[in-house]
Amino acid sequence: MTIRAYNKSETDLAGIMALLEELRGSKEAERFSFYLQDSNTYKTSYLTTKGFYRLVALVDGKVAGFIIGEHYLNDTVNLVMLYVGKDYRKQGIAFELKKVLTHLAQAWGYKKIVSQVRMNNLESIKLNLKSGWHQEIDKVYPDYYYWFSKELTDGTGFSPE
């Protein structure tokens, strides 16, 4: 498995579009708001505009999963989306995607990375706990998301251009 930045090539775009198509056809779609499943939102925003950090995981040259973080606050990255294709699960891909994004955020000077997870998304909750994220049990938003966060201890502050 290789993890690298999303490179805006046709292959990367088609790979992510195929994973979104898989998501939309699955029961897991219930976990996500409409805009997180909508290809157009990715084409016009998450995959093209500044302020989003995108990584893909490749297996045999195919996009097996992806992760997108956003510049959220001056010192914080928010995890927007993480998806691993059904044929590629339970191989540690999501764990690695999270680890690499976390290390990059730290290297860029962010002090914190956060994510919101549906309370019934047990895989994701376990993944976050395994990745050393802290569950902020007093923060449930709006009433069906858990907040998770991880402090990035070596952050030196960050100012977006």
Ligand X SMILES: CC(C)(COP(=O)(O)OP(=O)(O)OC[C@H]1O[C@@H](n2cnc3c(N)ncnc32)[C@H](O)[C@@H]1OP(=O)(O)O)[C@@H](O)C(=O)NCCC(=O)NCCS
Binding site for ligand X (CB under 6 A): 28, 31, 82-84, 89-95, 115, 117, 121-124, 126-127, 130
Q: Rank residues 104 and 125 by Cβ distance to ligand X and give the closer one.
A: 125
Nearer to ligand X, 83 or 110 (CB): 83
Supply the minimum distance, in Å, between the C-beta of residue 93 and ligand X: 4
Nearer to ligand X, 75 or 99 (CB): 99
Q: How far is the CB of 161 from ligand X (least distance, A)?
A: 28
CB of 67 vs ligand X, minimal distance in Å = 9
Of 74 and 103, CB closest to ligand X: 103
**Least distance (Å) between residue 97 CB and ligand X:** 8
CB count in 10 Å sphere of residue 60 = 7
